[in-house]
Structure 1
Amino acid sequence: MLRFLRVEHLPLIGCLEWELDPGFTVVTGETGAGKSLLIGALGLLLGNRADRSLYLDGEKTCSVEGEFFLEEGAAETLSSLLESSGADPCEEGRLLVKRSLPASGASRQFVNGCSTTLTVLRQVGDSLLDLHGPHEHQSLLQRSSQLFLLDAFGGLQALVAHVGEIYEKLEWARRREQMLSDPERERRRLLRMNVIQEIGDAAVRLEEEEEILRELELSRHGWKLLEMVGELNALLFTEEGALERVSRARRVLAGWSSLDAPGAAKAEELLEAAAVGLREMETLLIDYRERLEVDPERLNALEQRRSVLEGLKRKYGPTLSDVLRTLRAAERERSEEEEELRHHRQLAEERPGLERLFEEAYRQLSEARRRVGETLTQKVSHELAELGFPRAEFCVDWITRPHPGRRGAEEVEFLFAPNPGRPPLPLREAASSGEMARFMLALKTVLAAVDHVPILVFDEIDANVAGETAWKVGAHLRNLGRQHQVICVTHLAPVAAQGDSHFRVRKEHSAEGTSVSFERLSLLQRKEELARMLGGKSEESLALAERMLSGGPRPASSSIRRQED
């Protein structure tokens, strides 16, 4: 419910604080007293476009602030919207909404103290309040809302959810099936296979690059190295080489040792080590020379292999580690894709069965909706007759979707013709504001238990209404107030008498200018206000007003007349 409304610097109204009650609230006052400005302030709070010529008071900033208290379910739903938009969620069901309109520049909006966009403010307003009258803010004018309410009225939510569940499965299968023939997917698959084949065929080893470089270096300098090895061999191992000289030295050393063994021992040890080292050197040179075979074909093969590795590094590198990492990633993606494709093929095989289930489900939903539509038509037509439209026509128009979706195969459009002889039209085109307000009252009465919008505001609902119909309008509003917070601006005493609370708007003139006052009426003040609305504060009017407030018998229709504007 709307618990509190504060308005600042609105022309005529000035600064106003309004504390509201649950149930059915009526607002009365003479024509031109400023009631429409109050309704306009509510519209501003909920995101309606601001007419600066009407809502700005000089250079001052106009602001409208409302405090709402929500039931647990509504608070959770709205908190999700607020959190997704960056605003603070509702705490203990309390919601604060504020809108400021400076003399120049764009308006500013705040929800729970956090700045937000006008779009978010309108979304909040759509979930909280419907304005019916010249300042329209009506969720029921939208086809999506009409279908939602019809389903809720008929208790079809489980069937709608079933259709949506099958539809999601079917769409998933369709999307997966499309992926099998997606040209872009096939292009990526071929690129991946090329990568795997190119790197796989190359049989890359991480350590081979260093081996190739070393072997290439040896191959490029093979002849020079052979020459050097040959020269070393000649110096060390020919007849005049170092090994022969060491052998002769050992014979001389043997004579020295025979004459002075202790003195020659160290020299003999060193000479023996030199001989061993030269023999090892000889073995090394032989092995190296055998490995140093100069083969032009081998050199060419090494160069080609090096070129292959460099090409792979340019494409998938910059190192062989990166090349191998690319290969492993491509193989992993191939494996995942093969598994996914197996799953997609399975889904594609299931799709015909899902299509049959979906068709059966949405046809069942369509049949149920048409039965509910007939019931809704009968009930709303009955309520319209009660509200002064005995020959009005209301019907539900079914619009077939080109392609059935998650909410079924059709949309609905509520059609209404207030006067006989004219075809019924969509609600937004069908009637004047007063007729539309009464139609909405009839529809809201039927849908009261399932309508999720908690606050309903009716303006000019009593246009062209008098007598018995006025009593029925008031009774409908009172009953509607048991499930919603209802605010009604009215000129009819029979409507005002049935309110749970009553406020009066009065225009006052002074030397300083014109202003509007707004007050809650006591029981005595209500009686006087009703008497005024009945034609004046005569004894008869006061007595009639008292009977109306006490719930006494209704006066004859001839004794009730609307005060002329």
Structure 2
Amino acid sequence: MLTQLAIKDFAVVRSAELEFGPGLTVISGETGAGKSLLVDALGFLSGLRADSGMVRHGAERAELSARFALADAAPARDWLREQDMLDEDRDDGDECQLRRTLRADGGSKAWINGRPATLAQLAELAGLLVEIHGQHEHQALLSKTSQLALLDGYGGHDDALAAVAAAAARWNTLLREREALSKQGDVSERIAYLEHQAGELQREALEPDAIAELGASHRRHAHAAALIAACDAAFTRLAGDEAPSMTRQLQQTRAELMRVVEHEPRLADIDALLDAAAIQLDEATALIERIREDLDLDPLQFEDMEQRLGRIHDLARKHRVAPERLAAHRDALAAELESLRGAGERVARLDGEIETARQQWRAAAGKLTEARTRTAGTLASTTTSLIGELGMGGGRFEVALEPNAGERPDANGAERVEFLVSANAGQPPRPLRKVASGGELSRISLAIEVAALGGDLVPTMVFDEVDSGIGGAVAEIVGQKLRALGEKRQALCVTHLPQVAAQGHAHYRVSKAASDGVTRSAVERLDAKQRAEELARMLGGVEVSKEARAAAKRLLSNAG
């Protein structure tokens, strides 16, 4: 729901800030005061191309912003979350802000929740928040996609549509798999090549741990002579018999100290340290002895290790990977080989699976088509009745279901929708997007929205000059329909008829005045007394009579 609209230096509006609530909000004012500028502002916030002519004369840029509550706009919240633009830390992410600047030199910038956004993103999000029904190009209902969504929403086709989408996804997945396999062509040469490559790799132990151990063993054998000499020398110094060894010297030292320990008790602490050292020395000696026993000058074993290492490095160069990546490369080749070996059989199975998926999609799409056909008849009948009530007697509304021309499965079903309308009796129905009269287009849009009440997920609907070219009883009916729409969805309406304005739950007035030779517009929210006076002005013109004031009070009383 739209909660706030702020405008600065836009056309003849220097600065305005409007607060909106639920229900129907009407906007009135004298001709040329700039009532429709509020709708234009929402249009630019919905992604319309920048127009430097909308920047107020003398200003460098126009600034527009709109704030929306997301409690009734789950699709918009999901979109924001997917785009990483949802402000979860503020009000539990229950609001979003659209902001845009239009520069006098023709440039523009846009933001969503303070983050820079493209016009495409702005339009996509705004399409989930607000629908504009007016006499300009930003007509939500003129899009076939929107028409289809409205028809499905009105008919409650969610389950049938989900079944079609799931069947289409399955069918498309299988088609893509077959196309990928078909592009491979004759794979016999590739299989032979992979078998040879994989065979070479499988003959060696290529796991990273095995290669590391082989390298370590090779280094030991390469330096075996030096290692043996070092171990022998160390063992002799530590525990040998040919010269006083470190072990024997340590024992003698402890014995000498213990003979005089009674004269200096602290020598006992030294003896404890030397005892610990003796234990460490014994362990070191034992470990050196074991290492020495493992060392062996075996030329044949060393040559075998060199050959194995050579083969591993040759394989690494051949396959252009590091030696420690050879095992992963081997596994990848094996997986590709297995896939190619089963490709022929898979293609044969795919043909049957694709045919089954096609039949499942057709069955699901057929059920959806039947549901849409029933819904189209009901929506057309209800809307046609409403068109007559809105002053277009003899008018007719139809919903045409057009089969899709494509051969691939469509997640939206087997048809597209086109809304057709005949504004007058005897005229053939034409696409809604080709209706010439802006006032008729707005009233037809209103009739469709009222007929489909509750089926449209967009929370805010805006109607610009929906009452153009009508008056009297028809104007009152238009107002009543707008009020009924406002009971289910937030509705905004720019109007010049008191019968329509009286039906609003809230009322804004746009006025203009000249200051220093420059015309400016101002917007104010009216209280009950001001509303009565504004309706009287709309009824009586410049000179407001007692009769006009009395009639205005009656309109407000009847609406209430």
| TM-score, scaled relative to structure 2 | 0.74
Preserved CA contact (<8 Å) 1:143 1:413: yes
In structure 1, the partner of 2:190 is 191
In structure 1, the partner of 2:444 is 439
In structure 1, the partner of 2:79 is 81
- Which of 362, 365, 369 is matched with 1:362 structurally? 365
Preserved CA contact (<8 Å) 2:154 2:453: no
The Cα of 1:313 is off from its aligned counterpart by 7.0
- Mapped to 1, the partners of 2:154 and 2:343 lie a distance apart of 43
Change (3 A) 1:200 1:138: same
Listed one character per residue, the Cα deviations across residues 72-104 of structure 1 (whole Å, up to 9, x for unaligned) are: 5x2x53244334445344643111121112223
- Which of 473, 479, 485 is matched with 2:478 structurally? 473
In structure 2, the partner of 1:39 is 39
Higher mean C-alpha displacement, 538-547 vs 402-411: 402-411
SS at match of 1:35: coil
The Cα of 1:153 is off from its aligned counterpart by 1.1
State the AA in 1 paired with 2:400.
D
In structure 2, the partner of 1:546 is 553
Higher mean C-alpha displacement, 334-343 vs 165-174: 334-343
State the AA in 1 paired with 2:44.
L
Listed one character per residue, the Cα deviations across residues 214-256 of structure 1 (whole Å, up to 9, x for unaligned) are: xxxxxxxxxxxxxxxxxxxxxxxxxxxxxxxxxxxxxxxxxxx
Q: For 1:305-320, what aligned pairs fall within 5 Å after superposition?
A: 315-316=318-319
Determine if the alignment matches structure 1 residue 398 to structure 2 residue 378: no
Listed one character per residue, the Cα deviations across residues 30-59 of structure 1 (whole Å, up to 9, x for unaligned) are: 111111222222222222223212334324
- Which of 323, 335, 345 is matched with 2:338 structurally? 335
- Mapped to 2, the partners of 1:526 and 1:198 lie a distance apart of 87
In structure 1, the partner of 2:122 is 121
- Which of 531, 535, 538 is matched with 2:536 structurally? 531
In structure 2, the partner of 1:457 is 462
Change (3 A) 1:351 1:195: closer
Preserved CA contact (<8 Å) 1:200 1:327: no
- Mapped to 1, the partners of 2:174 and 2:142 lie a distance apart of 35
The Cα of 1:347 is off from its aligned counterpart by 4.5
Higher mean C-alpha displacement, 442-451 vs 544-553: 544-553
Change (3 A) 1:332 1:129: closer
In structure 2, the partner of 1:133 is 134
Preserved CA contact (<8 Å) 1:85 1:120: no
Change (3 A) 1:551 1:77: same
Higher mean C-alpha displacement, 77-86 vs 97-106: 77-86
Change (3 A) 1:544 1:180: same
In structure 2, the partner of 1:162 is 163
Preserved CA contact (<8 Å) 2:403 2:416: yes
SS at match of 1:181: helix
Preserved CA contact (<8 Å) 2:198 2:334: no
In structure 1, the partner of 2:67 is 67
User: Highest Rg: 1 or 2?
Assistant: 1
Change (3 A) 1:503 1:196: same
The Cα of 1:13 is off from its aligned counterpart by 1.3
Listed one character per residue, the Cα deviations across residues 261-318 of structure 1 (whole Å, up to 9, x for unaligned) are: xxxxxxxxxxxxxxxxxxxxxxxxxxx9xx9xxxxxxxxxxxxxxx999997764368
- Mapped to 2, the partners of 1:322 and 1:24 lie a distance apart of 68
Preserved CA contact (<8 Å) 1:98 1:111: yes
Preserved CA contact (<8 Å) 1:399 1:410: yes
Q: For 1:361-440, what aligned pairs fall within 5 Å after superposition?
A: 361-402=364-405, 403=407, 404-440=409-445
Change (3 A) 1:463 1:321: closer
Change (3 A) 1:342 1:469: same
Change (3 A) 1:359 1:319: closer
Determine if the alignment matches structure 1 residue 143 to structure 2 residue 141: no
- Mapped to 2, the partners of 1:482 and 1:321 lie a distance apart of 70
SS at match of 2:404: strand
In structure 1, the partner of 2:28 is 28
Preserved CA contact (<8 Å) 2:70 2:76: no
- Which of 468, 485, 489 is matched with 1:484 structurally? 489
Unaligned runs of 5+ in 1: 211-287, 292-306, 554-565
| TM-score, scaled relative to structure 1 | 0.73
The Cα of 1:462 is off from its aligned counterpart by 1.1
The Cα of 1:516 is off from its aligned counterpart by 1.4
Higher mean C-alpha displacement, 431-440 vs 167-176: 167-176
Preserved CA contact (<8 Å) 2:178 2:347: yes
The Cα of 1:329 is off from its aligned counterpart by 3.7
State the AA in 1 paired with 2:162.
A
Preserved CA contact (<8 Å) 1:80 1:89: no
Determine if the alignment matches structure 1 residue 516 to structure 2 residue 517: no
SS at match of 2:57: coil
Unaligned runs of 5+ in 2: 207-213, 215-298, 301-309
State the AA in 2 paired with 1:387.
L
Q: How many percent of aligned residue pairs carry the same amino acid?
A: 36
SS at match of 2:456: coil
In structure 2, the partner of 1:240 is none
Preserved CA contact (<8 Å) 1:317 1:323: no
SS at match of 1:4: strand
Listed one character per residue, the Cα deviations across residues 352-398 of structure 1 (whole Å, up to 9, x for unaligned) are: 33332222222222122111111111011011111111211211112
SS at match of 1:15: strand
SS at match of 1:405: coil
Change (3 A) 1:323 1:377: closer
In structure 2, the partner of 1:351 is 354
Q: For 1:166-245, what aligned pairs fall within 5 Å after superposition?
A: 166-183=167-184, 186-187=186-187, 190-197=189-196, 200=199
The Cα of 1:512 is off from its aligned counterpart by 5.0
The Cα of 1:431 is off from its aligned counterpart by 3.1
The Cα of 1:112 is off from its aligned counterpart by 1.1
State the AA in 1 paired with 2:96.
L
- Mapped to 1, the partners of 2:496 and 2:321 lie a distance apart of 85
In structure 2, the partner of 1:563 is none
- Mapped to 1, the partners of 2:184 and 2:120 lie a distance apart of 39
Preserved CA contact (<8 Å) 1:417 1:431: no
